[in-house]
Each structure stands twice: as C-alpha cells, then as structure tokens.
C-alpha cells in the first residue's frame, strides 16, 4: 500500500519492501546472502537490511536500503494482513539509495509520472552514477529464473506436490537418477562436510514439525519438505522441474541440511 517517506528534499512514494537478511532475501539477486548483497554493493552484515522500492516525485524508480530491518519487517507483516502502514524511514538509517528496482513491481504511485529509470546524475540524496537496477528478463532462462521457479514451488508446494505420483522413489530399482539430479545431491551432501556461504541453505516453517528447505548451488536449486520429497531445478534444463522421491537416502540428507540452514527470526 503506497505511502510517502521524506528523504532530504525529495519524497519517496513507497510501493513495496522486501527483506535482505541471511534467512530471507530476494532470490533473483543470488544463490546466497553474500552474493545478493554484492549485487547491490552492500556488506553482508549478519543483521541484514530492508529494501524499500518506490518512486520519487518525478516518477523515477529508486531502491532505498535501510539498516532498520525491524521497521521494514513490521511494514511487510502489516501489509500481508491487508492493513495500511505508512513506512517512513529515518534518514539516519539509510545505507544507500540505488537507482532502479531489482524486482518487478506491478503497481505505480498515483499522481506521478509512470515509473522510469532516473536520469544520469539524478539524486534522491544518493549516488546515481551506477547503472539502474533491473528485474530479470522473464523471456530467458538463467540462474535468476531458476531461483524464481524454486520460490514459486516453495510458495505453491501443495499444487506442485499433487502433480507427482505418491510412489516416486529416490532411485527407481535398477536405474540411476537424472545426471543433473545426481550432481545436485552430491553437491548438497558436500555442504555437510564443508558448509556453504550463509543463505545457501534456508529453512522455513511448513506445517506440524516439518520445514520447507531451500538449498542452492552453482547452476541448481532444490526445494524440499523435511517430511516429503524434493524438487530440483537446473540452469541447463530450462523450465524443467525434477522430482526426487524420499527413498532410503533423502530423509537423512534433508534432516542434516536443515540443521545447517539459517532460519527467520
């Protein structure tokens, strides 16, 4: 729900906000938290950041980075409940103001020009010398699209689960798993011996005692529930979703990965 926040002499019309923390960050930015921070030129501090996406009075797109994570988390939770919340950022908490948006935003601020990138040298109390942030191209398949696909599966688990036979097995008798899946499982097991960068493995509430587990690596993403199966997406298999049944090995792997995972506070 749009709100207005004053930043110096400029007004930012807030359209949406997201968290950038070790446990919750926009997957389009990277496979892990440090990688996502690097895309925005930020240090991967453990406390994380809030990203506020909005428009200035001329309609230009801006992403304001704040270290007041709790304020942004409160706003997001309130909006998710369908309630209004005027997100006002204290200038003292602003870490950076970056031109453009890293995510696709379907709404625009009323009463200002249509969303567009700031003109070179334009400022919202910030440096606009860098190239504007842009959302990933939805017409091509690559790491960002693979991670977005995994996000969608995690969000719509029940729908995706219904499309898989209940008797799917980890490895069908007498067969080897898909070569890409085999590589993913081997690399995921490797995380147990050599923990990956923060955020490569994330765990979120599912239902009951189960957790939704998300793991990413070079060229792959895996989404699983600790009490069920897993789905794998690969950079070199555009648009393909590969199910991995429980069988004798997957439950133990998922349990071990969950112990390494970062979790939302």
Identify the CA nearest to 47 among candidates 27, 28, 73, 26. Answer: 73
Among residues 102, 136, 170, the one where a domain terminates is 136
Domain boundary among 136, 160, 180: 136
Q: Both 107 and 234 in a single domain?
A: no
Alpha-carbon distance of 214 to 9, in angstroms, equals 42
Query: What residues contact 129, with CB distance under 8 A and at least 6 apart?
Result: 120, 121
Average pLDDT, the chain: 88
Rounded percentage of the chain residues whose pLDDT exceeds 90: 70
68 and 93 share one domain: yes
Work out the number of other CB atoms within 10 angstroms of the CB of residue 263: 13
Same domain flag for 250 and 160:
yes
Query: Does residue 182 contact residue 241 with C-beta atoms inside 8 Å?
Result: no
Tokens encoding 32: 């892990």
pLDDT tens for 145-189 read 999 999 999 999 999 999 887 555 555 544 566 788 999 999 999
Residues 10 and 112 in one domain: yes
Strands (E), the chain: 3-7, 10-20, 49-55, 61-66, 94-99, 201-205, 211-217, 220-225, 230-234, 242-244
Question: Are 130 and 176 within one domain?
Answer: no
Answer whether residue 265 is part of any domain. Answer: no
In a domain, 148, yes or no: yes
Q: State which residues form the domain around 7.
A: 1-136
Calpha distance 63→84 (Å, rounded): 21
Q: Which stretch of 27-36, 140-149, 159-168, 253-262 has the lowest confidence by average pLDDT?
A: 159-168
Q: Is residue 187 part of a domain?
A: yes
Going by pLDDT thresholds of 50, 70 and 90, the confidence category of residue 9 is: very low
User: Which range is least confidently modeled, 52-56, 103-107, 145-149, 199-203?
Assistant: 103-107
Tell me whether residue 210 is in a domain: yes
Confidence of residue 59 (pLDDT cuts 50, 70, 90): very high
Q: Pick from 113, 136, 159: which residue ends a domain? A: 136
Could you tell me if 114 and 147 lie in one domain? no
Banded model confidence at residue 249, pLDDT cuts 50, 70, 90: confident
Condensed to tens digits (0 to 9), the pLDDT of residues 103-158 reads: 999 988 999 999 999 887 666 655 556 789 999 988 899 999 999 999 999 999 99
**Residue 139: per-residue pLDDT:** 85
What's the length of the chain?
A: 265
Instruction: List, for residues 71-89, the tens digit of each pLDDT value.
Output: 999 999 999 898 988 899 9
Which position has the token pair 């899946």? Answer: 181
**Would you give the end-to-end CA distance of the chain in angstroms?**
24
Q: Is 37 part of any domain?
A: yes
Q: Per DSSP, what are the bridge partners of residue 100? A: 133
Which CATH number do you get for residue 223? 3.10.450
Categorize the per-residue pLDDT at 6 as very low, low, confident or very high, splitting at 50, 70 and 90.
very low
Q: Which of 93, 103, 206, 88 is nearest to 156 (CA)?
A: 206
Question: Is the same domain home to 53 and 183?
Answer: no
pLDDT of residue 1: 42
Lay out the sheet containing 201-205: strands in order across.
201-205, 211-217, 220-225, 230-234, 242-244
Report the pLDDT averaged over residues 239-259: 91
Lookup: tokens for 180: 């890409």
């Amino acid at each position: 729900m749009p709100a207005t926040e004053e930043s110096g002499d400029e007004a930012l019309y807030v359209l949406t906000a997201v968290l950038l923390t070790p446990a919750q960050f926009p997957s389009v930015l990277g496979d892990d938290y440090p990688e996502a921070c690097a895309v925005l030129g930020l240090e991967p501090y453990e406390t994380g950041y809030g990203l506020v996406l909005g428009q200035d009075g001329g309609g230009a797109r801006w992403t304001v980075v704040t270290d007041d994570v709790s304020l942004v988390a409160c706003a997001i939770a309130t909006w998710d409940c369908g309630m209004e919340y005027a997100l006002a950022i204290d200038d003292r908490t602003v870490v950076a103001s970056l031109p453009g948006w890293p995510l696709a935003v379907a709404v625009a601020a009323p009463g200002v020009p249509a969303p567009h990138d700031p003109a070179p040298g334009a400022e919202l109390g910030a440096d606009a010398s860098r190239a504007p942030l842009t959302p990933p191209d939805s017409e091509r398949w690559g790491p960002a699209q693979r991670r977005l696909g995994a996000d969608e599966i995690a969000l719509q688990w029940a729908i995706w689960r219904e499309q898989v036979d209940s008797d799917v097995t980890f490895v069908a008798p007498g067969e080897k798993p898909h070569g890409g899946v085999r590589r993913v499982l081997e690399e995921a097991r490797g995380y147990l011996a050599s923990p990956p960068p923060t955020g490569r493995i994330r765990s979120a509430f599912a239902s009951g005692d189960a957790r939704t587990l998300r793991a990413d690596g070079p060229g792959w993403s895996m989404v699983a529930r600790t009490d069920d199966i897993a789905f794998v997406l690969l950079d070199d298999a555009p648009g393909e979703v590969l199910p991995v049944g429980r069988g004798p090995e997957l439950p133990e792997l998922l349990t071990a990965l969950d112990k390494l995972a970062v979790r939302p506070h």
